[in-house]
C-alpha cells in the first residue's frame, strides 16, 4: 500500500503520515478487540475454575470426619428387657411381633447414655469431666448406634466390644479448626473441658480422622448432624431416574419416530411440533406447578413420593429426548429408506428394522444427557413436597423421599453453618461426580458406537 502512496509525489509525506496514523489506530483497536475476546474466555474459564475450586476445597475435608474409637461394655445392669423373646409355638405372628416390640421398647428405654458415658471415661480415665459435657463430645446418635448394635447381636450382653463412634459436629468443627479457636468461652459451642478432652484424645489417637463412609450409607439426620448422610436422597434420586428412563425413553422415541417417519404434514402435526419446542423452553418450576395441581391435588398421588417426582421429571425430559431422536433420525440418509422400501419392506419394517437401529447411539446419548439434566433439577421437586425432612431410606417409589439436589438445598439452609457448609459442598461433589460420570458415559458411547457404524 505504501508503495503506491510513495509513487504519488504530490500527496507525499502528509498522506503517508495520515495513513500511518490511521493504520496504527486500526491495529490498536484490532489488538484491543482480540484482547477483549481473550479476556472473555479467560473470565468464562475462570468462573469454571473458581466454581470447582471452591466446591472441592470446601467439600473435600468433610469426607474425613473425626471418629472416636472406644471399648464399649454392654452392661447387663443397665440394659433392660432381658433376653430376646423366643417364638412360642402357639403364638400368632401378631402376638410374636407384639412381644418383640415390647422387648425392643424396653431395650430402647434403657440408659444408653450411661453406657456411652462409661465407654468414653475408660478411654480417658484420669480426665475430670461432667457427664453432660462428656456426651457433647460424640454425636447424639451414639446411643442409637449402640442400641442397634445390640439389636443386631443380643449376645454381646455383658461383653466389651470395640466400637467406632462419630464425634459430634461441634467436636469436628473444633478439631478441624472450622470454628475460631480464639473465641471466648461464651461464644464456643462446646464447654472448655470438652474441648480440652477432644484435643487430648486426638493426640492420643483415640480420636482420628477417618473416611466418612457414613455420608454414603446414612440418611439425613436432624438431631445428630454429624451422622447425616446422603443414602435416602440417593435412593430417592435413583427411583426418579429409573422412572424417567422407563417412561421418557419409550414414549419419547415413539413420538419422535411417529413425527419424523409417519406423520403427515398437516395442521395437527405442526401443532405437536410447535408444542414440543415450546415444552422444551417452559421453565422447570412450571412443571412443578403441574405436578402439584394434577398429580397431587387432582389424582391424589402421595406428596413427597419419588413416583410423582419421576413423572414430573419425565414430562420435563420428554422434549429433550424427542428433539434429539428426531435429529438423529433426520441424519439417516434417505437412500437407506428408499432401498428398504424398494425391496418391498413396509414403512414399519423400514423404520424398525433399518432406520431406528442406526439412531441408537444418538438416542442413548440423548437419554443420558436428559437423565443428567433431570438428576440436577431442584425447583419442581420443592413444589411437590420433596423438600420434607425424611429420616428413612425409601423402600419403594411411593414412600416419602427426597433427592440429591433437594438434600443440598436442605443442608445449605441448616443452622449449623460451620459444619454444614462443608457437608453441602461434599454433597455437591457427589452430585457433580455423578453428572460428570453420566456425561462421560454419553461421550464414550457416542464415539464408540458411531465409529462402528
Partner 1 sequence: MNAFVIAALLLVLLTISYQVGWSRSRRLAGASSERLHSRPIYHGVLVALFALLPAIVVLGLWALFSGSVSRAFILAQLPPETAQLSQVQLQAAIGRVQAIATGFGVAGEPAPEEVAAARAFETFQLVSFLAVIGAAAALGAGALFLAQRRIGLRLRARTEVEIAVRIGLIACSTVAILTTIGIVLSLLADALRFFSFINPLEFFFGTTWNPRFQSTGTGSAGEYGLLPLLWGTVMISLIAMLVAVPIGLMSAIYLSQYAHERVRNVVKPIIEVLAGIPTIVYGFFALVTVGPFLAGVGDAVGLDINATSALTAGVVMGIMIIPFISSLSDDIIAQVPRAMRDGSLGLGATQSETIRRVLLPAALPGIVGAILLAVSRAIGETMIVVLAAGNSPVLRFNPAEPTSTVTVSIVNQLTGDADFTSPQSLVAFALGLTLFVMTLLLNVLALYIVRKFREQYE
User: Between residue 274 and residue 333, which ones bind partner 1 under the rule CB under 8 A?
Assistant: 275-279, 281-290, 292-294, 297-298, 315, 318-319, 322
Site string (380-419) toward partner 1, x via CB under 8 A: --xx-x-x-----------------x--xx--x-------
∠ Cα 196 197 198 (to 5°):
90
Q: With left for phi above 0 and alpha for psi between -120 and 50, is residue 157 left, alpha or beta?
A: beta
Q: Which of residues 234-263 bind partner 1 (CB under 8 A)?
A: 250-252, 254-255, 257-259, 262-263
Options 22, 29, 122, 223; binder of partner 1; rule CB under 8 A: 29
| Binding window for partner 1 (CB under 8 A); candidates: 171-179, 186-194, 354-362, 427-435 | 427-435
Smallest separation, CB 286 to partner 1 (Å): 5
Kindly tell me the burial class for residue 358, based on how many C-beta atoms sit within 10 Å of its own C-beta (0-12, 13-18, 19 or more). Answer: middle
Question: Toward partner 1, which CB reaches closer, 45 or 192?
Answer: 45
d(CA 191, CA 234): 36
| 1-20 binders of partner 1 (CB under 8 A) | 1
To partner 1, the closest distance from the beta carbon of 104 in angstroms equals 14
Q: How far is the CB of 201 from partner 1 (least distance, A)?
A: 31
Minimum CB separation of residue 223 from partner 1 in Å reads: 21
List of E strands, 255-385: none
Helix extents (H) in 110-230 = 112-123, 131-136, 142-152, 169-176, 192-204, 214-217
- Using CB under 8 A, which residues numbered 165 to 204 contact partner 1? none
Residue 43 touches partner 1, criterion: CB under 8 A = yes
**Calpha distance 275→181 (Å, rounded):** 59
Return d(Cα 236, Cα 249) in angstroms, integer: 20
Contact between 97 and partner 1 per CB under 8 A? yes
Under DSSP, the state recorded for 294 is I
Among 231, 341, 379, 393, binds partner 1 (CB under 8 A): 379
Pick the piece of the chain touching partner 1 (CB under 8 A) from 106-114, 132-140, 211-219, 423-431. Answer: 423-431
User: Which helix (H) or strand (E) is 247 found in, with range?
Assistant: helix 231-257
Q: Which three cell numbers stand for residue 125?
A: 480415665
> Does 58 sit near partner 1 (CB under 8 A)?
yes
| Shortest Å, Cβ 427 to partner 1 | 10
Of 152, 120, 136, nearest in space to 193 by CA: 136
Which CA distances in Å does 146 have to 81, 116, 143, 150, 354? 15, 8, 5, 6, 62
Binding window for partner 1 (CB under 8 A); candidates: 10-18, 30-38, 61-69, 445-453: 30-38
112 binds partner 1 (CB under 8 A): no
- What minimum distance in Å lies between the beta carbon of 290 and partner 1? 5
134 binds partner 1 (CB under 8 A): no
- With CB under 8 A as the contact rule, the residue among 307, 375, 401, 430 that binds partner 1 is 375
- Region from 65-73, 78-86, 368-376, 392-400 binding partner 1, contact rule CB under 8 A: 368-376
Q: Which residues of 398-411 are buried (b: 16+ CB within 10 A; e: fewer)?
A: ebbbbbbbbbbbbb
Which region among 39-47, 105-113, 221-229, 358-366 touches partner 1 (by CB under 8 A)? 39-47
Residue 284: CB atoms within 10 A of its CB come to 16
Q: Is 1 exposed, middle or buried (0-12, 13-18, 19+ CB in 10 A)?
A: exposed
345 binds partner 1 (CB under 8 A): no
Amino acid at each position: 500500500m505504501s508503495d503506491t502512496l510513495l509513487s504519488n509525489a504530490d500527496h507525499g509525506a502528509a498522506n503517508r503520515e495520515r495513513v500511518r496514523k490511521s493504520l496504527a489506530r486500526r491495529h490498536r483497536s484490532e489488538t484491543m478487540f482480540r484482547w477483549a475476546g481473550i479476556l472473555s474466555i479467560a473470565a468464562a474459564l475462570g468462573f469454571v475454575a473458581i466454581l470447582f475450586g471452591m466446591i472441592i476445597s470446601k467439600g473435600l475435608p468433610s469426607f474425613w470426619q473425626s471418629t472416636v474409637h472406644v471399648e464399649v461394655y454392654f452392661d447387663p445392669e443397665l440394659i433392660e428387657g432381658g433376653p430376646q423373646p423366643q417364638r412360642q409355638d402357639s403364638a400368632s405372628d401378631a402376638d410374636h411381633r407384639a412381644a418383640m416390640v415390647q422387648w425392643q421398647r424396653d431395650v430402647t428405654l434403657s440408659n444408653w447414655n450411661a453406657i456411652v458415658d462409661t465407654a468414653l471415661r475408660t478411654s480417658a480415665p484420669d480426665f475430670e469431666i461432667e457427664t453432660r459435657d462428656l456426651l457433647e463430645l460424640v454425636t447424639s446418635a451414639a446411643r442409637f448406634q449402640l442400641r442397634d448394635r445390640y439389636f443386631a447381636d443380643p449376645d454381646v450382653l455383658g461383653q466389651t466390644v470395640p466400637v467406632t463412634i462419630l464425634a459430634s459436629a461441634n467436636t469436628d468443627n473444633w478439631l478441624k479448626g472450622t470454628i475460631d479457636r480464639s473465641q471466648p468461652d461464651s461464644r464456643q459451642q462446646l464447654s472448655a473441658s470438652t474441648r480440652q478432652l477432644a484435643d487430648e484424645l486426638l493426640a492420643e489417637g483415640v480420636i482420628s480422622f477417618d473416611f466418612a463412609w457414613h455420608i454414603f450409607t446414612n440418611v439425613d439426620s436432624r438431631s445428630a448432624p454429624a451422622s447425616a448422610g446422603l443414602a435416602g436422597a440417593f435412593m430417592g434420586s435413583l427411583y426418579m431416574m429409573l422412572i424417567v428412563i422407563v417412561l421418557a425413553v419409550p414414549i419419547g422415541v415413539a413420538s419422535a419416530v411417529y413425527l419424523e417417519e409417519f406423520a403427515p404434514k398437516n395442521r395437527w402435526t405442526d401443532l405437536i411440533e410447535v408444542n414440543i419446542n415450546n415444552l422444551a423452553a417452559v421453565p422447570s418450576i412450571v412443571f412443578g406447578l403441574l405436578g402439584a395441581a394434577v398429580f397431587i391435588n387432582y389424582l391424589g398421588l402421595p406428596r413427597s413420593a419419588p413416583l410423582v417426582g419421576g413423572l414430573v421429571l419425565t414430562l420435563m425430559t420428554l422434549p429433550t429426548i424427542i428433539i434429539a431422536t428426531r435429529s438423529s433420525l433426520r441424519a439417516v440418509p434417505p437412500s437407506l429408506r428408499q432401498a428398504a422400501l424398494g425391496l418391498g419392506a413396509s414403512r414399519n419394517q423400514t423404520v424398525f428394522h433399518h432406520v431406528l437401529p442406526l439412531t441408537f447411539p444418538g438416542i442413548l446419548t440423548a437419554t443420558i444427557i436428559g437423565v443428567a439434566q433431570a438428576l440436577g433439577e431442584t425447583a419442581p421437586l420443592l413444589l411437590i413436597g420433596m423438600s420434607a425432612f425424611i429420616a428413612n431410606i425409601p423402600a419403594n417409589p411411593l414412600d416419602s423421599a427426597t433427592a440429591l439436589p433437594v438434600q443440598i438445598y436442605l443442608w445449605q439452609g441448616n443452622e449449623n453453618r460451620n459444619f454444614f457448609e462443608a457437608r453441602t459442598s461434599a454433597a455437591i461433589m457427589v452430585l457433580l461426580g455423578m453428572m460428570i460420570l453420566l456425561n462421560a458415559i454419553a461421550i464414550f458411547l457416542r464415539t464408540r458406537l458411531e465409529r462402528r457404524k
